[in-house]
Structure formats: C-alpha cells, structure tokens
Amino acid sequence: MLNIDELKFDEKGLIPAIVVDAESKQVLTLAYMNRESLEISMNEGRTCFWSRSRQELWRKGETSGNVQHIVDVTADCDRDALVIRVNKTGPACHLGTDSCFNSPVFSSGAAEPFSVNGLYALLEGRRETLPEGSYTTYLFQKGLDKILKKVGEECTEVIIAGKAGDKRETVYEIGDLMYHVMVLMVEMGISVDDVMAELASRHVIDHKVKQEKMT
C-alpha cells in the first residue's frame, strides 16, 4: 500500500480523482482532493472532495443523500492521479444523472459490449440532448403519460406471446418491455441501482422467510 506522502499533489495541493462505479465500471465523475479530503475519505469510507469553486471541503451526498461508499483508492503510475471505486446510493451528477459524462463528443462507431447500465446511460444522454429523429427523443418529448401507455402496451404483448408458448416472440416482447421500462426509469429519475437495491432487499427478506420455515 502506498503512503499518502508518496502521492504528488499539484501546486495548489490538489490531485484529480476519477470516481468509478465498482459494479458497473462506469465513470461517474472527475473531482479533486487535497490531502485533508483524501484523509477524510479514507477515514470515513465515503468520498470527500475539495470544491475548487467554493474553496471548501465537500462531502459527496451531505445535502443530496447521494453518498459514495469507497471500495478502494488506487494511484496511477506517476502517483499524481487517483481512481476511486465506489458503491453509490444515488446519482453522481448534480443534474440527477448516474454519471456526469453524458454528452458525446466523438464516436468511432465501434460496437461496445451491451450492458443494462450502458443502455441506461444512453437513454440518459438521449433525454439530455434530444437528438432529432430518435424514437427515444419522441417518448421523452411526449412525456410520462405516453411512456406509461407504451409500458402498458408492451406488458400486454408479453402476456400474449407467453400465453401462446412462443419463446422467441416472448423474448422479443420482453426486450421491448425492458426498453420502455428503462425509459420510464430515466424519466422518473429511478436508477438501475435503485431497482437492484430493492431486489437485494427482497432477497434478504425471502432468505429470512425460508429460514423461519425451516425452524
């Protein structure tokens, strides 16, 4: 383990900290730390930064509740930058999005491995930029009622396909349903982490129920 004295803070006493979601590997934000905020972060197990605009310490989530619990902190080869892996309890960005990085500048067109978090980030970007000709843009512009109507329609399609015993068609319709549900999530500010936390809490409850039945 490196000692904090081995890190290279800049002339203002700061070091850049790239915050990454430990589960999804998504880059959440780029912030800055001074020695004091880094020590606080390590002692408390949650991110504390130095606000360059306010010139003061800033504990992430102290007003919003969107805390970032630290998994680990790693320095780069030059020891003048940090990567901080976290488990977050809410959006990382002050705009309410999971990540601060939602505005594409360039794309090579190369295919990326699909992930639910990647799709969610894409939908967040669509809502932010509203590109013309996008079906997702259309849904966001029409608003909540239209999105809810589509979720209801896709639920019905899943039921019809499932009742018919058509596996391929059911998979197709479930894909449509999941997409529209995720559009709803973005519209309502519900993150993938929010849903996963709910499922995790049910898993604990279910496990306890099973234990009670066995005793």
Lowest model confidence (mean pLDDT) among 43-47, 65-69, 103-107, 198-202:
103-107
Lowest model confidence (mean pLDDT) among 14-28, 72-86, 95-109:
95-109
In a domain, 81, yes or no: yes
Task: Tell me, yes or no, whether 53 and 124 share the same domain.
Answer: no
In a domain, 104, yes or no: no
Closest C-alpha to 92, from 66, 118, 71:
66
In a domain, 108, yes or no: no
Task: Tell me, yes or no, whether 16 and 77 share the same domain.
Answer: yes
In a domain, 172, yes or no: yes
Lowest model confidence (mean pLDDT) among 123-127, 149-153, 179-183:
123-127
Residue ranges making up the domain that contains 31: 4-88
Q: What is the CATH number of the domain that holds 155?
A: 1.10.287.1080
pLDDT at 162 over 60: yes
Residue 88 main-chain phi, psi, to 5 deg: -100, 155
**Which domain-ending residue is among 42, 70, 88?**
88
Tell me the whole-structure pTM to 2 decimals.
0.59
- The alpha carbon dihedral of 46, 58, 84, 29 has a sign of positive
In a domain, 107, yes or no: no
Which has the higher per-residue pLDDT, 204 or 114?
114
The DSSP bridge partners found for residue 75 are: 82
Task: Tell me, yes or no, whether 79 and 131 share the same domain.
Answer: no
Number of structural domains (the chain) is 2
Task: Tell me, yes or no, whether 125 and 51 share the same domain.
Answer: no
